[in-house]
Each structure stands twice: as structure tokens, then as C-alpha cells.
Chains A and B, each alone.
Chain A
Amino acid sequence: MSDREAILSRVRKATTHTASHPGAHPPPDLPGGFERFASRLRAVGGEAHGPVAAWALGEEATRVAGLRAQGGRILATEGASERLGPGPWVVAPPDTPPGAFEDVAVAIVEGTVGVAENAAVAVEGKHARHRALPFLCRYLILLLPTASIFPDQHRATAALPEDAYDDHHLTWISGPSKTADIEQTLVYGAHGPLSLDVIAYEER
């Protein structure tokens, strides 16, 4: 018997199919909105900017990216660049090998929804075709429509578009990369970005 058949037959014998699913968890009554999101993001080591009007997004991104990059390379994903208009960023060609992002100072990527209770922002695979970019860059900037900030993880998950999981990965990012593995001292930038800026904007 193959391992598959052996495992499934053992499991079949052990299960009764009687314990029912409890159904969806009713979302709690938590504060939402940009202010709440921003304060939670500060608590996890990130920084929220805005909210700015959609037309001012490019200007704000130029300012924040400039502060972080200090003259280093700034890359934007295709979608982010379209939203931002012209600026100090370049768009990586689709066939760029992942290793080429090693010297990127700042990456600008679109987020889909945000969560006020934990400052997480969903980054969809289709908005991060270069899967390695948000993790190899030194500083990460995410763009987030204010209207897409939800109070809790349940509502935010439910608000994701139907095809959100279709492009290989969807990552919830909450603050910069961090570790406390050496005597519980919190250090940002363990492997991924040393900082996370989220620029919130009002979609028209």
C-alpha cells in the first residue's frame, strides 16, 4: 500500500464525521479607520503617512522614498508606478532575475486592504510579480487606499477580491522585518526590510 493510501485509511478509521463546523466567527466591534491603523503600525515598528488625495500621492511618495533611499535605487512595481505618475523611481522589467534586487534601497508596492487591529496590509501576487522585491529591498513602501482599511482581520479577509490568491501568493505585511532572538532585544531588519512606510490615499 502506498503511503497515501495507508495514511488515508488510518485517518478514515479514526474519524467519525460528527463534529460540526462552528460557522464563521462574528467580527468583533473594534475601532477602524486610518488613525487606528496608524497607531497600530507605529506599535509594530512601521510608519503611516497621509491620508493624501490621489493626485498628491506621487509627491508624498517622492518625499518618503527620498528620506529612506538617501540617493539609493528606488524601484516601483508597474501598478504602483501607474498610480504614482513620474518620480524618482524606475519600474523593473518583467524578466529581471530576483538577485538583481539585492542593491535596491526602496521598493514601492501596492497594497490591497489594511487591518486596523494589527496594521497588516495585504500584498497580492499580481501586485508583486517580482516576488523577491518586497523582501530584498532595504526599505519598503506600501500604498493603501484609506477606504480599504478594515477594523479587523475577519472583515479585511472577506473584503479581498475573489482572485486575490490566484497569483501564487498573498502576503499580509505588518511592520518591518524583525527578530528578538538574541536576548529578547527587538531588532528591525532581520532578513527583510529595515523599515515599512504605508502611504494612505483617498481614491476618487
Chain B
Amino acid sequence: MTNPVELGARSELGDPERLARHDAAVFDLRTRRDAAAAEVPDWEALRERAAAIKAHSLDHLDVYLEEFETQAARAGAVVHWAGDATALQRIVGNLLEERGVQRVVKSKSMLTEECGLNPHLEARGIQVVDTDLGERIVQLRHEPPSHIIVPAIHRSRQEIGELFHRHMGTPRGETDPERLTRAARRDLRSRFLAAQATITGVNFAVAASGSIVVVTNEGNADLGMSLPRLHVACVGIEKLIPCMEDLPVFLRLLARSATGQPISAYTSVVTGPRPGAELHIVLVDNGRAGLLAQESHRSALACIRCGACLNTCPVYRRSGGHAYPGPIPGPIGSVLAPAMQAGGAALAHASSLCGSCTAVCPVRIDLHGQLLAWRRETLRPWSSASIASRLAAWVMARPGWFRFSGRIARGIWPVLRRRFPGNPAHGWLRTRDLPPHPGPSFATRWRRERENT
């Protein structure tokens, strides 16, 4: 079995310079997170509180969903329910079409990525413009985001300069981030003013007041929510929190874990539509209730999408987001994939189980424990991996067999290292190198040392 991550990694970050830049950029975010967390005296208590609030909310999700629906409706919003991706596409598409909307500005939402909303709307003739700068970059390049907080972290300023030259008319060779950002601001400002609707994701949904909470640094979601008459907010059902008093717990953790900022630049609590406008909130399941039913795995639904586990993950840092087949990369993506998408179980094997993700997760999801659990649950009893593991366990428990197999392995090692059809390691070697043999066995070296002294 070849792991999808391995193949993707080779194609995406094959160039060592690109790999090194990606690794450094991502780890820089981890460093910032550490500094920010260290400044908060009650950091560990906050994480614990956040985990407990999420565990409570998820275990009472039916109650909070109904409360949210009632309160949001009372505030004047229209609440819709979407069982799966197709339902979300249909609901949003119809809302826009019924109002003759042709131009939509959108702010970042991993949920709509997951549900393929953009391609669906475009197929219906609706122009969708992503307005988060990083999202806009990957949209113009026709590629998916590679990081949930910094979507274009895998692209260099040269590549972005070239892209903006073609699409926004910046001078050829312009690579200054400030001037490129200004160009995007001008270009997108006109699209904001011309938009007839906005689509946003939601960071938290507050059951007691029917409010949605939308967090950005750029202010793009707020421009979207304040200009066109129609706002469609897409919410995964796991985003519910009980009441406004719980919100500060998450706000204090989210930005610090994501980028090391004490809080994001804009945190908007939206309750009902603004006067003369419409607010539609779509609550989306798309596999979440199924994950909720698996009690040993449901903690993954507590994720607040800060990206901290990506930034610290040795596998993500050296492979990039595009190496992961699903919408969400990194440890949390690998934990969600087995439950949420076909063939997702393979991702659980792309981990060294170092546990760094678990150490940084602001809501204390047991990420590496989850990966291990998925491995155990998804390993087929007669697969080659399973047979090999059991054989190894048998041999290692028997010193005579162990020494004997060691001698054989040392004999055929130089042949095993070469790739050729018929070599049992052929597939394995496609994405790995077998290191040179270390020489005589430990037991042999030990004996020699003893004899020489």
C-alpha cells in the first residue's frame, strides 16, 4: 500500500529549496504560538476548560441545535439544514438564484471547501470571488488551499507576483508583498462594492442567542457582511457553543494557537440580519453526526480550526497541504479523514506518532492517540502490513530466530536497496530510501569488544 501523502509530498515539494522554505514558514507559526501561549498564565486551564465545554456541547448537540435555531429565527435569521454536501450546494445555489444573484464575495470557510460549493455555484453561472488574500491566490491558480489558516503558504512571492501581473495588472517582476497586497485590495474592493451577496463560514455559533461569530484578520468577512443585502453563513453543526460567556475561552485560545496574535483583528458577533438585509444560516451535517456517534473518536469534532497541529507536524511541514487528499491537511485532517471520506484511513499511517500535535492542540484533542486508534481499527487482519507485524512480533520474541533472520537480512540487504520488479520492497522504495547497512549486528560487536578488552 502506498500512502497518498508520500506521493503527494514528492510532487508538491520535490524541490529542496521550496521544501526548506515551506518548513521554515510553517514552523515560524509554531514558534509564535509558543511565545503567545507562554504569556498566558492560565493557558493550561483554558485548554482544559475549552475541551470540557466542547465535550459538553457535543454531548448535548441536539439541544443546542434546536435552541440555536429558535434564537436565530427570533433575531430574524432564516435557518436551513443540510444533511450533506449536495444539500448545502442546492440550498445556497437556490437562495442566490431566486434573488438573481450573479456576483458573490466569499470569505474563508473550510466547510464550503469540503462541500465543493464554489464549483457548484460556478456551474450555475454565479461568479464567486474568494476575498481572503491567500484564498484569492489559490483561487486564481485553480488549486485548493494548502493550509487552513494560510492558504497560499506553499507559494513564493515570485509566483504570486507573476499571478498578480496576469490577473491584476501589477508590473512584471513586482514581488514586494506590500505592493502586491495593495493591488489585491484595490482589485477586491471593487468586487466587494459590486457584490450582490456574501458567503461566509462561521467560527462559533452561540446557541443561547442564535448568534454566529466570524473571525478574520483582513476584515474581508466584515466588508462582505456589511455591503450586499444577502448574507449566507455556512455552519458545521459541531460549531455550537452554549452561551456568550463561553466565547472568551475560545477567543483567547484561537488566534494565539493559530498565529501567535493575542486575538484576531476582527471578531464579529452577528445576531440576525442588519436592517433591510437578509441573513440565512445553513447548518451542515455532512458526516459529522456519524462521527459524533463514534464515542471514541468524537473529540475530533471539538476542533476550532486554528492550524496549530499542522504547524508543528513533521509530516505536514515536509509534505505540504496538497499531499493530503482531503479538504483539511495535517494531523486533524488525518484524524477526520477515516470517518469523513472514503479511503481516508491510509492517512493514519502517515505519522511518526511524536505527539507534538496533541501537545499544542488548544482544545486538547488526543490527536496522536486518535491516529493510533484509527490504525488499529482499520488494519485488515490478512493485509501484508498486518501479517508483517505479526511475523515480526513472533521473531522478536525468539532469540534464535531473531539472530538467524538478522543474518539473512544482512545478506540480502544490498539487493533489497535496489529498485527492480520482483524486489519485495519495490513499492516501498518508490517514496523511500533504504539506508546503507550498519555492518555487524549489535551482538557481534558486543562480543568483539569484550574479547578485545
A183 CA to B292 CA, complexed, in Å: 37
Contact with A along B274-304 (1 / 0, CB 8 A): 1100000001010001101100001000000
Q: Assess the B219–A165 pair: CB atoms within 8 A.
A: no
**Residues on the B chain within 8 Å of A98, using CB:** 226-227
Q: Assess the B218–A191 pair: CB atoms within 8 A.
A: yes
A117 CA to B261 CA, complexed, in Å: 11
Q: Which residue of A lies closest to B180 (CB)?
A: A182
Q: Assess the A11–B270 pair: CB atoms within 8 A.
A: no
Q: Smallest Cβ distance from A39 to chain B, in angstroms? A: 11
Q: Does A56 sit at the interface, judged by CB under 8 A?
A: no
Q: Assess the B227–A120 pair: CB atoms within 8 A.
A: no
A14 CA to B61 CA, complexed, in Å: 9
Q: Please tell me which stretch of A70-78, A81-89, A105-113, A131-139 contacts chain B, meaning at least 4 of its Cβ atoms lie within 8 angstroms of it.
A: A131-139
Given contacts A10-B285, A178-B217, whether A169 and B248 have CB atoms under 8 Å apart is no
**Residues on the B chain within 8 Å of A179, using CB:** 133-134, 181, 217-218
Q: Does A148 sit at the interface, judged by CB under 8 A?
A: no
**Residues on the A chain within 8 Å of B95, using CB:** none
A127 CA to B140 CA, complexed, in Å: 37
Q: Which residue of B lies closest to A1 (CB)?
A: B83
The residues in A between 125 and 173 inclusive whose CB is less than 8 angstroms from any CB of B are: 125, 131-132, 134-136, 152-154, 156-158, 165-166, 168-173
**Residues on the B chain within 8 Å of A6, using CB:** 83
Which residue, B156, B226, B245, B267, has most C-beta atoms of chain A within 10 A? B226
The residues in B between 409 and 452 inclusive whose CB is less than 8 angstroms from any CB of A are: none
Which of B81, B251, B273 is in CB contact (< 8 Å) with A153?
Answer: B251
Q: Smallest Cβ distance from B450 to chain A, in angstroms? A: 55
Given contacts A14-B293, A184-B28, whether A165 and B269 have CB atoms under 8 Å apart is yes
Q: Smallest Cβ distance from B351 to chain A, in angstroms? A: 26
Which of A7, A12, A191 is in CB contact (< 8 Å) with B131?
Answer: A191
Q: Smallest Cβ distance from B183 to chain A, in angstroms? A: 11
Q: Please tell me which stretch of B47-55, B376-384, B389-397 contacts chain A, meaning at least 4 of its Cβ atoms lie within 8 angstroms of it.
A: B47-55
Q: Assess the A183–B156 pair: CB atoms within 8 A.
A: yes
Which residue, B48, B59, B222, has most C-beta atoms of chain A within 10 A? B222
Q: Assess the B49–A25 pair: CB atoms within 8 A.
A: yes
Q: Does A19 sit at the interface, judged by CB under 8 A?
A: yes
The residues in A between 1 and 29 inclusive whose CB is less than 8 angstroms from any CB of B are: 2-4, 6-8, 10-22, 24-26, 28-29
Q: Does A118 sit at the interface, judged by CB under 8 A?
A: yes
**Residues on the B chain within 8 Å of A102, using CB:** 189, 193
**Residues on the A chain within 8 Å of B41, using CB:** 28-30
Given contacts A3-B81, A153-B248, whether A19 and B56 have CB atoms under 8 Å apart is yes
**Residues on the A chain within 8 Å of B226, using CB:** 98, 131-132, 135
Q: Does A58 sit at the interface, judged by CB under 8 A?
A: no
Given contacts A6-B83, A21-B53, A131-B226, whether A190 and B267 have CB atoms under 8 Å apart is no
Contact with A along B102-140 (1 / 0, CB 8 A): 000000000000000000000000000001111001000
Given contacts A181-B150, A182-B177, A183-B177, whether A169 and B270 have CB atoms under 8 Å apart is yes
Q: Assess the A157–B181 pair: CB atoms within 8 A.
A: no
A187 CA to B193 CA, complexed, in Å: 22
In the complex, which range does the number of interface residues on chain B fall in? Answer: 35 or more
**Residues on the A chain within 8 Å of B220, using CB:** 190-191
Q: Assess the B248–A154 pair: CB atoms within 8 A.
A: yes
Q: Does B9 sit at the interface, judged by CB under 8 A?
A: no
Q: Smallest Cβ distance from A184 to chain B, in angstroms? A: 5
Q: Does B209 sit at the interface, judged by CB under 8 A?
A: yes
The residues in B between 38 and 65 inclusive whose CB is less than 8 angstroms from any CB of A are: 40-42, 45-46, 48-49, 52-53, 55-56, 58-63, 65
Q: Does B225 sit at the interface, judged by CB under 8 A?
A: yes
Q: Does B157 sit at the interface, judged by CB under 8 A?
A: yes
Which residue, B62, B220, B293, has most C-beta atoms of chain A within 10 A? B62
A184 CA to B150 CA, complexed, in Å: 9
Q: Smallest Cβ distance from B223 to chain A, in angstroms? A: 5
A144 CA to B247 CA, complexed, in Å: 22
A153 CA to B248 CA, complexed, in Å: 6
Q: Smallest Cβ distance from A94 to chain B, in angstroms? A: 10
Q: Which residue of A lies closest to B50 (CB)?
A: A25
Q: Does A119 sit at the interface, judged by CB under 8 A?
A: yes
Q: Assess the B178–A168 pair: CB atoms within 8 A.
A: no
Q: Assess the B271–A7 pair: CB atoms within 8 A.
A: no
Q: Does B188 sit at the interface, judged by CB under 8 A?
A: yes
Q: Does A51 sit at the interface, judged by CB under 8 A?
A: no
Which of A21, A25, A158, A181 is in CB contact (< 8 Å) with B242?
Answer: A21
Q: Smallest Cβ distance from B133 to chain A, in angstroms? A: 4
Which of B58, B223, B247 is in CB contact (< 8 Å) with A132?
Answer: B223
A156 CA to B160 CA, complexed, in Å: 40
Contact with A along B233-248 (1 / 0, CB 8 A): 0000100001011011
Q: Does A195 sit at the interface, judged by CB under 8 A?
A: no
Q: Does A174 sit at the interface, judged by CB under 8 A?
A: yes
Which of B63, B153, B237, B266 is in CB contact (< 8 Å) with A171?
Answer: B266
Q: Does A92 sit at the interface, judged by CB under 8 A?
A: no
Which of B65, B150, B242, B274 is in CB contact (< 8 Å) with A180?
Answer: B150
Given contacts A28-B41, A132-B223, A177-B217, whether A165 and B244 have CB atoms under 8 Å apart is yes
Task: Write 12 A-B pairs (CB below 8 A) sorted by A numbering.
Answer: A8-B62, A19-B60, A25-B249, A40-B262, A117-B262, A118-B261, A153-B252, A184-B150, A189-B181, A191-B192, A191-B218, A191-B219
Lowest 6 CB-CB distances: which A-B pairs, in order? A192-B219, A118-B262, A190-B218, A10-B289, A181-B134, A131-B226
Question: Which residues of B come within 8 Å of A, CB atoms?
Answer: 25, 28-29, 40-42, 45-46, 48-49, 52-53, 55-56, 58-63, 65-66, 81-83, 87, 131-134, 137, 150-153, 156-157, 160, 177-178, 180-182, 184-185, 188-189, 192-193, 209, 211, 217-220, 222-223, 225-227, 237, 242, 244-245, 247-249, 251-252, 259, 261-275, 283, 285, 289-290, 292-293, 298
4 additional A-B pairs beyond A7-B237, A171-B269, beta carbons within 8 Å, are A21-B56, A132-B223, A152-B248, A191-B192
